[in-house]
Structure 1
């Protein structure tokens, strides 16, 4: 089981000690129910409940949205306006990733729950900037320099958050650590690009963002390709855990 998949919750089995004790007491030790002893009745045992692993959903949602945004940042096929990513940020990077985070809580995976829920809200808040009805862009219409600085502050906040998540991931696995390193570099470059209003740095951030998205896809596939279900698996570089 991978480090990110900590929490497949199973229902505890019903204890049978009392049932076995009752069966040895004899006919006179308990009242009859419709001519039958109660311990002779079949014991209702609830089936084992398993929660699916939400990590691949969170990673693929993050990877797909980052990929589209990075394509825009490097101006692939001449696309310069990032508005095409709004739908992705709302429903894929936002809603789907947020739900993956919420589902990670009952699985007992606090780290995945924190990461996916937080980045889900990042994408939702990022999308709201480009929705005209929010009035965010309109508020900076007369002060475009403030818009770049405001976006820079918005992005640098998520750079700080990513660094914190990177520190918390240092005992998870190499694959996830590498992905977070590239993600932190992406946020940092994009924040600097906004502060400097530099297209070249934006493109550099887009290139690193492309690498980040491919790393996220890799981690997602590593989570999906389990030995019992797949012909092959992908190594994640597991890190030994503390023994104390």
Structure 2
């Protein structure tokens, strides 16, 4: 008996992350100033639920890195959604800043895990930890310049993640190898 081929959950997780990050980052960069609640549904379902599902599927596939990354960032988006709704009470900008810095530390460590994967993931995680640190520092210090810089780097992060995920989808549909490049230590 042969095992049935399963879909790769990474493009779903990367796409959910990318789209939600792109929308939120346009607000964080100050490019859009009204309608911020547009990101809430994305955070709950595409950034949150879809990434949680991708994480579970990565677990089933035996991919520890994908499991930890997608499940953690899916949980981040669910936290963002519930915090934005005020479910946890009055969370201060300093408190949010600390959470963002903590996610920056987590992402920095996860970035080390991309050194032998592909250039797409390497760049995505590099930009993401920078994004988290800039947003966190900006929130804690009340510094809009740092916060807006985090938004701009977040936009670049979203583009890198989307490229990585969609390159896998398109390459697979064409029967080709994804054009993701080699990470620095591969």
Superposed pair shares fold, TM > 0.5: yes
Query: What secondary structure sits across from 2:174 in the alignment?
Result: coil
| Partner Cα separation in structure 1 for residue 41 and residue 63 of structure 2 | 28
| Partner Cα separation in structure 1 for residue 183 and residue 97 of structure 2 | 35
Deviation at 1:77, TM superposition (A): 3.9
| Partner Cα separation in structure 1 for residue 124 and residue 184 of structure 2 | 19
Gaps of 5+ in 2: none
TM-score (norm 2): 0.91
Q: 1:189 to 1:53 in 2, by over 3 A?
A: same
What is the aligned-residue RMSD (CA, Å)? Answer: 2.1
Match of 2:112 in 1: 167
1:56 lines up with 2:11 in the alignment: yes
Match of 1:235 in 2: 179
Match of 2:75 in 1: 121
2:89 to 126, 136, 143: 136
Match of 2:153 in 1: 208
Greater C-alpha radius of gyration:
1
* Greater relative contact order structure (CA < 8 Å, 6+ sep): 2
Gaps of 5+ in 1: 1-12, 14-46, 141-146
Counterpart contact for 1:130–1:136, Cα < 8 Å: no
Deviation at 1:234, TM superposition (A): 4.5
| Partner Cα separation in structure 1 for residue 54 and residue 112 of structure 2 | 22
| Partner Cα separation in structure 2 for residue 82 and residue 157 of structure 1 | 24
TM-score (norm 1): 0.71
2:24 to 66, 69, 72: 69
